Structures are given as structure tokens and as C-alpha cells.
Structure 1
Amino acid sequence: MISKLVKLVIAGCMAACASLNPANCQTVDNNALPYKADSVIFEGKQTGLHYGATITMPNGPGRHTAVVLVSGTGQQDRDGKMAGHKMFAEIADYLTRNGIVVLRVDDRGVGKSNGNYATSTTGDFAADVLEAFHYLQTRPEVNPKHIGLLGHSEGGMSIAIAASKEPKVAFLISIAGLCMDGYDALIMQNRDLVNAAPISNDDKNRYNQINEIMFKAARQYADSANLDKVLNERYANWKKTDDEWVKAHNIQFDHFRFPIWSYVNQATSPWYRFFIKYDPAPVLAKVNIPILALNGDKDVMVAFKENLANWKNLPAAGHDKDVTTIALPGLNHLFLPCQTCTPQEYASIKAPFSPDALKIIADWVKKRFK
């Protein structure tokens, strides 16, 4: 849930390709790896799309537990590359070294995957997750009864929706996965980002005020063809009051800017309309499988207390007994140690994905699916 929302603030391969063109199959050089890695392309039977992916498999014989890695907001390649950090490549490497098959997939319109990301919703991304899940069921290296889903950020929504539709999903792992009402998540995320910004308290109050006005209108009129008109009217009314405030405080050089044009364009998109109406409660009420949810306690994108509490309480309407939630100290949204912990800092952090988080994930899976 990074790229779209931050803009609102202050500014084997052969088996996989048997029915496809073999030229599309590329085998990764395995000489330096203690496991097998193949680049594959598989077809989505329900979506009609094709997906480029990398599957990593332990060298040992038999059928293994497997997991699909699911990205958050913003187009990402199969490595989950964000601000120079290849999150999913690191996770896949660690888990496969620990005996787990991992499938990581290019998002729609990225790499070897087709499809239109811009017109897709989280519901569509959940459909992509199910296509990846069903592909893993065909792999001879995979135990079809031990396939789970791991989602980051908005990917937490995607894996919850997917699991609510597919009873054969064996487990869920959330890493900073969103598990809140979409409107509440937007309010909380933007407040955290605004409060972390190097601006005056007055401007922080102004951003929080106009954000709340716009988000409420977007939720109320999410299904309306006149949403753009409503948003522009709400902003214009607020701007009159705000201009009077600026004049009353004798502010000669006002640097406050709300990106109304770009916000309206985003808010009227299919993705935003779906997101702001999302409610995890009825979705997770249908899910009763082992769940692991991890968050960094310095995450300003997905509030750790509220989201971890929902992961704990909402599955199977509170009757899912095998739910583990852990807050990891000092980590940001990408599970990196941080100072300011804002998205602007990500690229300057040289540390890898948290080794503690990786060990927790691998141990949790191995304990339940030997």
C-alpha cells in the first residue's frame, strides 16, 4: 500500500510451459544455489492472463510445503523490488533454503505478466493469487495440501480475499498486511505520514482536515458516477474556509498544497473505489486456517497495533485458534531498521530484510507443515 497512497500526502520450467511456447521458458543458473530455481510462465484459467514468475525448490526429494508471495500497492516485479530492496527475492531465498517451495510472480503488466494494472482492483489481484495457487497445485515438487499465501501491505487484503474463496489454502502469512476497513486505513495511514512530515503543526492540522473530508466523500459516493464532481465541490467549500483562516493569520507566503487534481483522478479509479469500501470482517469470517501476522512497530504505512489486532480477532469470527501476531521492534514497512521510518528513507537503508522476521516465518511454517 505504498505508491498510490504516499502521493496523497504532501505532495519446473518445462512442466509449466508444456502447453505454451517453449521459447517462453528460461531456466535460471542454479550452479551457485543450494536449491533449484526456474523462470516460468503459467496461464490463468479464470483471468485469461499469463503470468511470469520464478519458482524456487529445495533439492531434496518428495513433495514440499509451498507459498505464493503477494505484493502490495504499486506495480512490482517478482523480486518485490522497492526503493532498491528486493524483498521477495530475499524471502524466497531464505525460505527455500529452509525446505519450502516459493513462487514469486510479476504483477499485472510487469515483466512477463500481461494485463492492465491501472484498471484492476484488489479483488482482481486476489484472482491473480488464486491463479498462482492453482498453478502450484500442478507442480510435482509441491504437496497440494500444504500451499499457503504470504502477502505484504495491500497483499494482506489480497490473500484474505483469496483464502475466503478457496478452502484448500493451507495457511496465511501477513507481513505488514492490511487488515482494516479501507477508509480507516486511509485515515490512519495519512495521519501517520503527515505527523511524521517536517512541516508546521498548523499545516499538519490542515492536511488531516482536508484528507478526512475527501476520504469521507470518496467512501460515501464510491459507487456514484458523480464522484469527481462531489470531490471537487467538497474541496472548493473547504478551500474557502481555509483561505479565510490564512488571511486571518496574516500568512503572506502559504506553502500548503493539496493535490486535488491527482487525488480526484485516483479516487475515481476502480482500485480506489474498491479499496475505500473494503471491510475485512466478512472476508476473514470465512477463513479458519493457521495465520501468522508480522509488523514492524515503526511502520507508518500499516499501523501495527490495529492491524495485528484484526488479524488476531477477525478470522472465523474469532474462532480461529491458530493465529500468531508479532510486532518486531525498530522496523519499518519494508522490515528494515529505520530512523525516520518514512518512505523517503527506504532507499538510504542498506540493511537486508529483517533476519528475525525471516526466521520467525520459516520456523512457523516448518512447525505446522513438516
Structure 2
Amino acid sequence: MVLKNPIRKKSLVFGLVISLCIPTIAYGKEPAARSNSAGQIINLVKGTNAASIPIALNLPSSPAFVPKKKGVLAGKGPIAEANIHQDLFLQNAVQFASDMEAGNYGQALKSSSRPLKKSISEQWLEIYWTTLKQQLQPQAGSFIGFGTAAVKESNRVHKNVEVELQFERVMYPFTLRLDRSGKVDDFQLTTYTGLVASDPAYSNPHSFTEKDVVIGKGDFALPGTLSIPKGKGPFPVVVLVQGSGATDKDETAYALKPFRDMAHGLASKGIAVLRYNKRTFEHAAKISADQNHTVDKETTDDALLATRLLEKEKKINDEQIYMLGHSQGGMMVPQMINQDKRQNIAGAIVMGGPARTFQDVGIDQFHYLLSIGQIPQQAAEFYTTQFEMLNDPDFSGENPPDEFLLGQAMFWDSINDIRAAEMAKEQNEPLLIIQGERDYQVVSDIEIPIWKEELSHRNNVEYRLYPKLNHFFTEGEGEMSLPAEYLAPVNIPEYVVHDIAEWVKSKPNKSE
């Protein structure tokens, strides 16, 4: 992807930097304050859960810069589409967006699903919509109106409708998720529409099949895909668990689709793979409004529900279910094993997973990014101060300090004591710990020695280090990677997939 405008490129990379360092930040319960420029501070909410941070840092990730299209409706009323009345889902999504822009938040809430109504209020919707436009205005200009609308994807949980938000300079896709009855169940700003990596050359689609599945049930059911090698089976299976933030089943990160690469590569080598949309992706608004959101809700619980689904699959060997956790997902692998009451997990792959706490790793990230000029001093100081609060043994998610401004304090309280290597000391499930040596987000020279020291007494832990790879396991040059590498549409190298496949195939059934 080529970004000719240097200002736009800088803004995109800056947003990318921050989005890869911190989880989603929740909106609060009071009206948002106004802001003037991208470098100033915005108060998203008032009270103890206020989130006063540089506004460029608060977007889940930096949206794509899309040129203004010809023929876009330049008004703030309903979207003019010839087929809009022919599709209930399209019509309801458009009406919901139009109601928010018109200030009819009560009507928008009335057309929402029961789970969404339980999670948000009219006031929350007003804060969300007002703050969203405020944050986009410095780089996008004033909001003009809506562009086109189209049904983009259907899965077994939601039908997704994309509505274009047209600003003076750019357009942002806005995704609304509707349930089977046509009610709006969730929504989020689509964050990137640039080039993405194609299916890797080592994928052999003729050697496996894929089917849609649903992880869990009820308000937070998740759509997923099970890739199964052709043949009689039963096959060993790997469950893919994402890192921090709101990511889909492919763990799409700008131009990269590492979990799609992993799923198709492993399935081509005779290993089944289950991947699914993360809860913070499929149910973004409901999660953002949940002040009791925790890392177990976000990661652990759904990963274990995935193993229960696999118990029922005839072509899956339920004694060879392996977890593969990337980044935060890798950090949570020992927690998954601890909470695996049904003892479904036969072993796990930790892919770029921290051995230390989330906040200690995060502080190192910001120091590095400041040193190479990727973030301003203000941002580094803000997040360092916030993360350091989590190291206070008296930090409480129920009663956080007034100075704690990252929102969802219960989430941070739930993650701040997770020390993966230490937790894995007394566990027996075999581990494969893999790491890119150019990874600036989880630095191998710091994390791997801790893993090795804590697990030195265990004889069923193996390590693989890759000199050319970054945090998303794609290749690059130089001693340490840069955030801009994630904008290059490339695949995970086949040698990584090969190593994982060989490790899985070398493991006997749990009962042997």
C-alpha cells in the first residue's frame, strides 16, 4: 500500500502504534467534552471512569483514509439506495444510523436487540455518536452525511451491514451487526480498508474443507470457522486465540491475516484448526459499555467454550486439542489450562506471548516507540503513568484511583496480576513457545529468558526463535521491527507453520 500524503501516513501509523499496544477503551456514562485538535486532550466521560487521553490514542485503531467518492449522498437524512426497501436488514441498519445522526437516540434504542438494550442507554448512544465524530474531525473534517450502504457479510450470529460515514476529506465504513430478526445488535467503526495479504502459497484449499460454527450461545455467541483436513480422521486440532484489541477470526491487523494463514497452512498439513471472531470484535458496543468486563470474559471463557464445541466433532480427536495463543492470547494460555475443568487441553503453543505482566510489557513498548520517534512524549508519559498504577498492590477495579483514566477498571484489575511464566510452573501440559527476534512488542531477549528460568524444571517445553520475524510473525529487515511493517500485505512464512505442525504431530494422545 502506498500512502502519498505524508500527513495521512503519519496519522495512520500513529494510530496503528497505539492500537497494537492497548485494548479497547470503553465509553462512559456522561456527555463527552469538546476537543479542538488531534494533539489535545479530550474528556470522554466525567467522574471516576473518565478517560482523559490524547484523542488520537483513543480510537480502537486508525481508520483507513479513503478518497471521497463521486455520487455520495451529501446530506444527513436517510441513505438513498434503490434496493433499501427490499432488504429488511439493510433498511433497519440505515434507519438506526439515521436516527443517531438526527438525535433520535430513543428511537435507535427502540430498534435495537434485547441484549443491546440491556447494555446501553439513550445517553450512552449520544456519547458514542458525538464522541466518534469529534475524534474523527481533526483528520477527516466535519461530518457531511451518509454514503452508500450494503450488506457485507452474513454468519451464523449476525448479518453485517456497512454504512459509509462521509466526512469533508475522507470516508469511514461503519459496520452494524443485526440479529436474525433484523434488530441492531451491535456496531463498530471499520478501521482499515487497505490492501490485505492474499491466501498464502502454501495453502492447499483442495486438501481441507471449512464449515461455519458458533462458539457459545446467548448474548455473546461468536461466529467461527472450523478447517478440517480431508480424509477419515480423527485429526488433531489447534484452537487459535487472539491478542489484545478487537480482532476477527483471521486476527486481521491492517494488511496482515496471521490466523487465516495459520488455519489454511495447518489444515493443508493434516491438522484441523478452529478460529472465531473475538468477543470484543463481534460484540464491540456491548463490551465497551460493560464496566464489569474482564480478561477472562474477553479471552479465557470463549477459548474454553471452543474446546467444548470440538468435543462433539466426529472428525476431531478430542484427546489432541491444542491451544495456540498469540500475544495476549499467549499470555493467557496458563489461565486457560488452570480453568480447563473438563481437561480438554492436551498442550499449547505460546506465540509471541509475554512472560511478564501486560503493563510491564506495555511500558517497554512505549519507551521503544518514543525512542524511535513513533509517538510523542505526551503519549509515552501518559500511558507509562497509567500502567504504573496497575503495579500498585492496592489497585482495585471496583474503586480505582481518580487519576486512572483508561476506563473499564475491572478489566485492568483482572489482567494486572497475570504472570504467564510463573503460572505455568506447576502445570504439566506440553508447551511450544515461539518468538520473533525482531518483535518490539514482546521482546525475545527479555521474555524468553524468563520463560526458560521459570520452566527450567520441566522437560516438556520447547522453544523456537525466528531471527527475521516481528510480533505478527512476518519477515522484515533490521534489528528491531517497526509498526509500519504491519501495512505490508505478506504472509506468515511456511517454516513457522511447519514447526507448529511437526510439534503437534509429535505429541501422543493424552491417554497414552
Q: TM-score range, shorter-chain basis?
A: 0.7 to 0.9
Q: Which residue pairs with 1:52 in the alignment?
A: 223
Aligned partner of residue 346 in structure 2, secondary structure: coil
Contact 1:49–1:115 under 8 Å retained in 2: no
| Secondary structure of 1:82 counterpart | coil
The letter of the residue matching 1:5 is C
Match of 1:153 among 318, 327, 332: 327
Hey, what's the Cα distance between the residues in 2 that align with 1:117 and 1:358?
A: 33
Q: Secondary structure at the match of 1:368?
A: coil
1:188 maps to which of 351, 364, 368: 364
Structure 1: which amino acid aligns with 2:423? V
One-letter amino acid matched to 2:358: G
Q: How far apart in 1 are the matches of 2:278 and 2:332?
A: 13
1:322 & 1:60 partners in 2: Cα distance? 30
In structure 2, the partner of 1:216 is 388
- Partners of 2:156 and 2:490 lie apart in 1 by 35
For the 8 Å contact 2:223–2:276, the answer to whether it is kept is: yes
User: Which residue does the alignment assign to 2:211?
Assistant: 38
Q: Work out whether residues 216 and 306 of structure 2, in 8 Å CA contact, stay in contact via their aligned partners in 1.
A: no
Contact residue 76 and residue 110 of structure 1 kept, 8 A: yes
Instruction: Give the whole-Å Cα distance in 1 for the aligned partners of 2:387 and 2:331.
Output: 19
What code does the residue aligned with 2:327 have? S
Long gaps (5+) in structure 2: 1-16, 24-52, 58-154, 159-203
Match of 2:300 in 1: 126
Once the two structures are superposed, what CA deviation does each residue of 1:320-341 show, in whole Å capped at 9, x if it has no partner?
2111112211211111122472
- 1:162 alignment partner, SS class: helix
* Residue of structure 2 in register with 1:3 after alignment: 19
Partner of 1:365 in structure 2?
504
1:313–1:60 distance in 2 versus 1, CA, 3 Å: farther
**Equivalent residue number for residue 170 of structure 1:** 346
- RMSD between superposed Cα atoms in Å: 3.2
Q: Paired residue for 2:434?
A: 294
Residue type of the alignment partner of 1:342: L
Moved >6 Å (runs of 4+): 7-10
Corresponding residue of 1:305: 445
1:178-215 deviation per Cα after TM superposition (whole angstroms, max 9, x unaligned): 2212332222222222223257xxx76x7666654432
Larger mean CA deviation between 277-286 and 301-310 belongs to: 277-286
**Alignment counterpart, residue 319 of structure 1, candidates 433, 454, 457:** 457
Q: State TM-score, norm by structure 1.
A: 0.74
What's the CA shift for 1:156? 0.8
Alpha-carbon distance, 1:137 to partner: 1.3
| Counterpart position of 2:84 | none
Between 338-347 and 97-106, report the one with greater CA deviation.
Answer: 338-347
CA distance in structure 2 between the partners assigned to 1:136 and 1:53 by the alignment: 12
Amino acid at match of 1:129: A
Structure 1 unmatched ranges of 5 or more:
12-22, 232-263
Aligned to 1:142: 316
- Report the AA paired with residue 169 of structure 1: I
The answer on 1:354 being equivalent to 2:493 is: yes
1:71 aligns with 2:242: yes
Identity %, equivalent residues: 24
Which deviations, in whole Å up to 9, do the C-alpha atoms of 1:290-323 show, x marking residues without a partner? 11111111111111122223333435xx432111
* Paired residue type of 2:389: A
Matched residue of 2:247: which SS?
coil
Tell me by how many angstroms 1:288 deviates. Answer: 1.2
Q: Structure 1 residue 159: deviation in Å? A: 2.2
- 1:219–1:36: structure 2 CA closer, same or farther, 3 Å change rule? same
